Amino acid sequence: MSISSVAGPGGPGGGGLVDAFTARYGRAPEAVWRAPGRVNLIGDHTDYAGGLALPFAIDRAVLVAGAARDDGALVGWSVQRPGDDAWLVYAEGVRRAATRRGLLPADGRGADLLVDSDLPVGAGLSSSAALTVAVAGVLLQLAGRPAGPEETAALCQEAENVTVGVPTGLLDQTALLQSRTGHVLAVDFRHTPPTVDPIPCPLNGLQLLAVDTRVAHEVADGTYAERRRAVEAAATELGVQNLRDAEPAAVAALPPALRRRAQHVVNENERVTAVVALLRAGRTAEIGPLLTASHASLRDDFEVSCPELDLAVDAALRAGALGARMTGAGFGGTVVVLVREDEASRVIAAVEAAFDDASMPSRTTRVEPGEGARALR
């Protein structure tokens, strides 16, 4: 699905959603939450390695409206998945994780839920984390038990890990919950919960583009788990808890397969630190080569890219982008591109042309750092 072709979520205030909820359930919603998607500017496959990342929330979001039910049932409808209940496993996961933490009463009050979204599903912009965060906001508000961003992030991660069965780290939930307009979030995963430092990201004369490859290769889940194991094995072999603390010479002496995985993580952490320093100095245009180096590392050392991601990155760079990289776990999803404003149209045209399907809706959209998840009602 194209980022630009999805239906809007009924206006920024969620007004359309309130009317739709009322029409469907015959009463007004008692809570409405908005949770955005995210782009990770740099720092991928570092969260579960106790490393660094630099995500930001984008201006596309999942909206969830809800009202309590007395019979314990979780009933839902999604405008994007009419008549299909499969996504309710995310809501059930949130309810279970929140109940286990004592945030929801054990006798399990239920809810009617309505979902609408302009965030593409399965494009690596984290629609799944946005869904869980918005559902968590609604269920906790209905129970009169609001939770802080760290607890909400942890329970949403638990929902995806345990009930849905996807082994995600904490990057997405943290980004969605704590982002601020005009900032990227320097997230340090050394400790749990991670620490978060908002860094101003002025785009004066620059633009960030998200390119949807429109592919999600099936190898993604198994390979993600395998990469996590390799990172853990490298740390064990080096006798460190965190690859950030490994001596470069010791990393270089690892067996080749482990060495390349570990090198990606070590070098990626350093690139995140360098990007943060440039942003703090107001030198945003200079981060481009670091973004491109991150892509090369994910492609060659960590081996989680794919032909479509490489095609988008190469086409953007050839057309004059300052930097480009895959963002997220890999094997499809989205590429983030940094480009000068006056070259954006040329870069977009070149990327569209590279995919040789110009009759399709555009795969490229401009993104900028937006606000984190919040209650609209």
For the chain, give the number of residues. Answer: 377
The distance of closest approach from Cβ of residue 204 to Mg ion in the complex, given in angstroms and rounded to an integer, is 32
Under the criterion CB under 5 A, does residue 128 sit at the interface with Mg ion?
yes
Q: Which of 310, 295, 330 is nearest to 222 (CA)?
A: 330
Contact positions with Mg ion (CB under 5 A) in 302-331: none
Segment interacting with ligand ADP (CB under 6 A) among 52-60, 118-126, 204-212, 262-270: 118-126
* Of residues 133 and 251, the one with the C-beta less far from Mg ion: 133
Site string for ligand ADP, 29-68 (x = CB under 6 A): ---------------------------------x------
Under the criterion CB under 5 A, does residue 173 sit at the interface with Mg ion?
no
List of residues 6+ apart from 82 with CB closer than 8 A:
none
Catalytic-labelled residue, pool 44, 172, 188, 212: 172
Please check whether residue 154 is in contact with residue 169, taking contact to mean a CB–CB distance below 8 angstroms. Answer: no
Query: At residue 54, what is the residue type?
Result: L
Segment interacting with Mg ion (CB under 5 A) among 64-72, 125-133, 194-202, 313-321: 125-133
* Of residues 55 and 124, the one with the C-beta less far from ligand ADP: 124
Is the peptide bond preceding residue 193 cis, with omega within 30 degrees of 0? yes
Strand-by-strand arrangement of the 323-327 sheet: 323-327, 332-340, 206-216, 364-367
- In this structure, what are the phi and psi dihedrals at residue 287, rounded to the nearest 5 degrees? -80, -10
Among 41, 74, 103, 121, binds ligand ADP (CB under 6 A): 121
Among 67, 131, 139, 155, binds ligand ADP (CB under 6 A): 131
Shortest Cβ contact with Mg ion: which residue? 128
* Of residues 168 and 294, the one with the C-beta less far from ligand ADP: 168
CA 138 to chain centre: 20
* Of residues 128 and 141, the one with the C-beta less far from Mg ion: 128
Distance CA 93, CA 230 (A): 28
What pairs with residue 247 in β-bridges?
none
Question: Does the annotation count 172 as an active-site position?
Answer: yes
* Of residues 128 and 267, the one with the C-beta less far from Mg ion: 128
**Which listed option, ligand ADP, Mg ion, none, makes contact with residue 291 (CB within 5 to 8 Å by class)?**
none
φ/ψ region of 108 (left if φ > 0, alpha if ψ in -120 to 50, else beta) reads left
Element (H, E) at 155: helix 149-158
**Which listed option, ligand ADP, Mg ion, none, makes contact with residue 292 (CB within 5 to 8 Å by class)?**
none
The distance of closest approach from Cβ of residue 172 to ligand ADP in the complex, given in angstroms and rounded to an integer, is 7
The distance of closest approach from Cβ of residue 214 to ligand ADP in the complex, given in angstroms and rounded to an integer, is 12
List of residues 6+ apart from 212 with CB closer than 8 A:
1, 2, 3, 120, 123, 333, 334, 363, 364, 365
- Where does this chain bind ligand ADP (CB under 6 A)? 62, 78, 80-81, 86-87, 90, 115, 117, 121-128, 131
List residues with catalytic annotation: 172
